[in-house]
Amino acid sequence: MRYLPLSDQERADMLLRIGVETVDGLYADAPRDALLAKPLDLPLRRTELEVERRLSALAKRNVAAGDVPFFVGAGAYKHHVPASVDHLIQRSEFLTSYTPYQPEISQGTLQVLFEFQTQVANLTGMEVANASMYDGSTATAEAILMAHRVTRRRKALVSGGLHPHYAETARTLSDMAEDEIVLLPPDPLATEDLIGLIDESLSCLVVQSPDFFGNLRDLRPLAEACRARGVLLIAVVTEALSLGLIESPGAMGADIVVGEGQSIGNGLNFGGPYLGLFATREKYLRQTPGRLCGQTHDAKGRRGFVLTLSTREQHIRREKATSNICTNSGLCALAFSIHLTLLGEKGLRELALINHANAVALVEALEKTPGVEVLNRSFFNEFTLQVKGSAAQLVERMAARGVLAGVPVSRLLPKAGLDDLLLVASSEVNTNEDRATFVAALREELSLGAGA
């Protein structure tokens, strides 16, 4: 049997009902340069054994993150995940659970999400957290939409230190809703005058800390300026582990805290699935997107868990919904909670301290390297280097030496004129030998470039 047993007439009937003439019409809104002009260079059909051999050969062309000194970050971070995390999330009662459509018989799933919410609220310094979202970028976009609902304004100011992928996601959703986003230019030195741009026309100010370039931001003066003008402050955290060391955004006055939870309990996984963190103040609870799990007692006084709030368009009238997020990333949230529980508060702080110390050790070595300038005055475990020449070409040459040196800023901001900037992350997985290899390879490549 064919995988898609549809006749030509059936396909024509479906297209007619949709209102397009051809299958290509389904992609009318996609950018033309994003569409393939011809099929991929792959055989049309092969046996299962042949497919396995072909894919295995392609996979061997990859350089795995654990095989070489690895300093890549920019929103997705390599940390050690204890084997117990993977063991526990693969237990059938967790692995087969998806989402609590029948909450009264999903007590285990609900308890996991309740504990996850509690951990996220404690980490972010906020009063309430929801039962996770897709990832950090969509959580950021949802936070902006929530700020519009709360303030009844439709304009957001976005710092130039926000991760470019997050900014693009927010802009996509805002364009669909005909909202306005003022996106400031990239700011490697964190010198932008945000306070001077805050006025009563804004619904929110979006600031990332540590920001895309690794700079730590003091949110207190921003929070005070926002409150004075009725603007919500949205704090974004792409490296959740940093919350084990730096002061929480909630303690500094943020109204909504969003971010990416990948770095706790979840591997790089070729870019996903990840999980979004979303926390806010209790007074904004009913405008929070997604789900909220709560604790209660049944008729016999036994502890139980319920879906306290579920404001997705699947559950209530579309015009009343606060989100169309259709998953809670439950398995990734479970991995997050298990890893964080294994660490505990003391372990989290120690792990965060190790990350910062490793990054400091690398910076101290790089500051003695000719042709390299560290731009950051503050950082957690990631920082920005300014190098001579093209950072992208330097990364390729370092990769040929067996060192994954980081992410060139030009890869994510190709039109910003920041071709000489390189993002470098150093976590607990980097050894003294890794850092020495990185510095030695960098010095040699820069000296060769200078000689040329």
pLDDT digits (tens, 9 = 90+) for 382-406: 999 999 999 999 999 999 999 999 9
Residues 152, 225 within the same domain = yes
Instruction: Identify the weakest region by mean pLDDT among 111-115, 190-194, 210-214.
Output: 111-115
Average pLDDT, the chain: 92
Give CA–CA dist 178/145, Å, rounded.
Answer: 11
Burial class (CB in 10 A: 0-12, 13-18, 19+), 362: buried
Residues 335, 351 within the same domain = no
Select from 315, 340, 365 the last residue of a domain: 340
- Identify the pLDDT of residue 452: 44
CB 192 within 8 A of CB 207: no
Reply yes or no on whether the pLDDT at 450 is more than 70. Answer: no
Burial class (CB in 10 A: 0-12, 13-18, 19+), 112: buried
Instruction: Identify the weakest region by mean pLDDT among 106-115, 250-259, 351-360.
Output: 106-115
> What band does 107 get if pLDDT is binned at 50, 70 and 90?
confident
- Identify the pLDDT of residue 352: 98
- Identify the pLDDT of residue 323: 75
Biggest alpha carbon–alpha carbon distance for the chain: 80
Select from 305, 340, 375 the last residue of a domain: 340
Q: What is the CATH number of the domain that holds 440?
A: 3.90.1150.10
59 belongs to a structural domain: no
Residues 176, 102 within the same domain = yes
pTM of the model: 0.90
Give CA–CA dist 244/344, Å, rounded.
Answer: 10
Residues 266, 332 within the same domain = yes
> What band does 371 get if pLDDT is binned at 50, 70 and 90?
very high
Beta-carbon count within 10 A of 133 CB: 30
Instruction: Identify the weakest region by mean pLDDT among 2-6, 161-165, 224-228, 427-431.
Output: 2-6
Helix then strand then coil, in percent of the chain rounded to 5, is: 45, 15, 40
Q: Which helix (H) or strand (E) holds 277?
A: strand 276-280
Select from 298, 324, 340 the last residue of a domain: 340
Q: What token pair was written down for 17?
A: 């009902």
Beta-carbon count within 10 A of 327 CB: 15
> What band does 3 get if pLDDT is binned at 50, 70 and 90?
low
Q: What token pair was written down for 422?
A: 């390189």
50 belongs to a structural domain: no
Reply yes or no on whether the pLDDT at 267 is more than 70. Answer: yes
Mean pLDDT of all residues in 426-432: 97
Residues 172, 234 within the same domain = yes
Residues 191, 267 within the same domain = yes
Range of the domain at 120: 83-340
- Identify the pLDDT of residue 1: 47
Reply yes or no on whether the pLDDT at 105 is more than 60. Answer: yes
**pLDDT tens for each residue of 36-78:** 988 888 888 889 999 999 999 989 998 889 999 999 999 999 9
Reply yes or no on whether the pLDDT at 2 is more than 60. Answer: no
51 belongs to a structural domain: no
Beta-bridge partners for 279: 129, 257
Beta-bridge partners for 383: 424
Burial class (CB in 10 A: 0-12, 13-18, 19+), 325: buried
Number of independent structural domains in the chain: 2
Give CA–CA dist 264/416, Å, rounded.
Answer: 31
Residues 222, 365 within the same domain = no
Mean pLDDT of all residues in 186-212: 97
Q: What is the CATH number of the domain that holds 249?
A: 3.40.640.10
Mean pLDDT of all residues in 440-449: 90
40 belongs to a structural domain: no
Reply yes or no on whether the pLDDT at 373 is more than 80. Answer: yes
Torsions phi, psi for 426 (to 5 deg): -130, 115
Reply yes or no on whether the pLDDT at 308 is more than 60. Answer: yes
Residues 330, 251 within the same domain = yes
Beta-carbon count within 10 A of 233 CB: 25
State the pairing for strand pair 372-374/204-208. Answer: unpaired
Residues 309, 181 within the same domain = yes
89 belongs to a structural domain: yes
- Identify the pLDDT of residue 451: 43
Residues 370, 321 within the same domain = no
The strand order across the sheet containing 372-374 reads: 372-374, 382-387, 421-425, 407-408
Please write down the HEC assignment for all residues of 318-363.
Answer: HHHCCECCCCCCHHHHHHHHHHHHHHHHHHHHHHHHHHHHHHHHHH
Reply yes or no on whether the pLDDT at 186 is more than 60. Answer: yes
CA angle 12, 16, 17 (to 5 degrees): 120
CB 203 within 8 A of CB 181: no
258 belongs to a structural domain: yes
CB 142 within 8 A of CB 289: yes
Residues 175, 313 within the same domain = yes
41 belongs to a structural domain: no
Reply yes or no on whether the pLDDT at 32 is more than 80. Answer: yes
63 belongs to a structural domain: no
Residues 419, 351 within the same domain = yes
DSSP state of 379: -
